[in-house]
Structures are given as structure tokens and as C-alpha cells.
């Protein structure tokens, strides 16, 4: 498993709209790793002190994309989260080595149980893009995320070492 998270350096210049926060996680594309991907997302967004309701929305988006990667992908699932302070936008990128699923009419799967993941993501996100390349698939989604106030989430980790400790 590969794990990384970063935040703007405290002594960075005051151009806060350009301060980017980035977090990366890579895990095998297996169902037992989906909760780890979700927990990583929540830990990172809370460490970044983002709005709690938006954190829940982002968690659902990530969970749906990770579940799709597990169902249709293979190899490694990678999650990339990025947030530029002042932008109000969290970009979620999930990559896997899978191909686009083909919907086959008459399958024995209940349509109420499967096939809604990307529609849920499209409903929750500002935009969604699915890209296919020779090595697999990349799904990008943008979630609107207002920043919580500095006092909104007291006691939560803010440094990258604490984020890693929460996940591992």
C-alpha cells in the first residue's frame, strides 16, 4: 500500500487560492480495501478542516468510485484527492486497470442492486469525467466543498503524520 498526504507549508506566501493540498493512496483492487479508501478520504478531509457535510458527500463519491474499480478493474486502485484553498472544489481521481463495463440486457442481476454507482456520483458531484486509456480507466469527479472554520473541527489531526497514523 502506498500512502501520502500533504498540506500547504505553514510559511508559504499568503496567496491562499494557490495553496494546494494533495493526498494519494494506492491499494490492490480488492473489495476488502474499499473501507480503507473511505477511511483515508475522511481522515484527510478532516485533517484539511473541510466542511463535515461535504466530507460525507466526498466519502460517498469515493466509496462508489472505489467499488466500481473493484468490480470492473484489476491490479491497483489509486486515489488522488486535491483541494486548492479558496477554490471550494475537491477533485477526486480514481484509477484502475479495468475497462468500461458493458451493460447486457437480461442479466440475472437486479437493477436495483447494481449499476447506479456512476449515477450517484454524477448526482453528488459538480462534474464527472470517465477517461479510458491503454492501461485502464480513470474517473474524475469534482465535489463542491466549503472550508470549515478553523474552530469547526477541534482536536482532529492537521499534520500529515497524523493522517497516516489514522489510516494505517
Interval 49-69: pLDDT, tens = 998 988 999 999 999 999 999
Residue 112 belongs to some domain of the structure: no
Residue 160 belongs to some domain of the structure: yes
Residue 121 belongs to some domain of the structure: yes
SS3 79: strand
Residue 136 belongs to some domain of the structure: yes
Q: What is the extent of the structural domain holding 128? A: 2-6+19-99+117-167
Cβ-proximal residues to 64 (8 Å cutoff; 6+ apart), any chain: 117, 118, 120, 121
42: pLDDT strictly greater than 80: yes
Confirm if 56 and 63 have CB atoms less than 8 A apart: no
Residue 12 belongs to some domain of the structure: no
> Could you tell me which residue, 137 or 108, shows the higher pLDDT?
137
168: pLDDT strictly greater than 90: no
Residue 111 belongs to some domain of the structure: no
Q: How many domains, in total, are found in the chain?
A: 1
pLDDT at 133: 85
Residue 80 belongs to some domain of the structure: yes
Percentage with pLDDT > 70 across the chain: 66
pLDDT tens for each residue of 1-38: 545 555 443 333 333 445 789 999 999 999 999 999 99
Residue 70 belongs to some domain of the structure: yes
Amino acid at each position: 500500500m502506498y500512502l501520502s498526504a500533504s498540506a500547504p507549508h505553514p510559511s508559504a506566501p499568503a496567496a491562499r487560492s494557490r495553496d494546494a493540498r494533495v493526498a494519494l493512496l494506492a491499494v490492490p483492487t480488492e473489495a476488502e480495501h474499499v473501507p480503507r479508501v473511505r477511511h483515508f478520504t475522511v481522515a484527510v478531509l478532516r485533517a484539511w478542516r473541510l466542511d463535515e457535510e461535504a466530507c460525507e458527500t466526498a466519502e460517498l463519491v469515493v466509496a462508489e468510485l472505489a467499488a466500481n474499480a473493484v468490480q470492473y478493474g484489476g491490479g491497483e486502485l489509486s486515489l488522488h484527492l486535491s483541494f486548492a484553498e479558496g477554490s471550494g472544489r475537491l477533485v477526486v481521481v480514481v484509477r484502475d486497470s479495468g475497462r468500461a463495463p458493458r451493460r447486457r440486457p437480461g442479466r440475472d442481476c437486479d437493477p436495483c442492486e447494481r449499476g447506479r454507482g456512476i449515477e450517484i456520483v454524477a448526482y453528488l458531484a459538480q462534474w464527472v469525467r470517465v477517461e479510458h486509456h491503454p492501461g485502464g480507466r480513470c474517473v474524475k469527479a469534482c465535489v463542491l466543498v466549503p472550508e470549515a472554520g478553523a474552530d469547526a473541527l477541534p482536536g482532529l489531526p492537521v499534520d500529515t503524520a497524523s493522517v497516516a497514523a489514522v489510516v494505517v
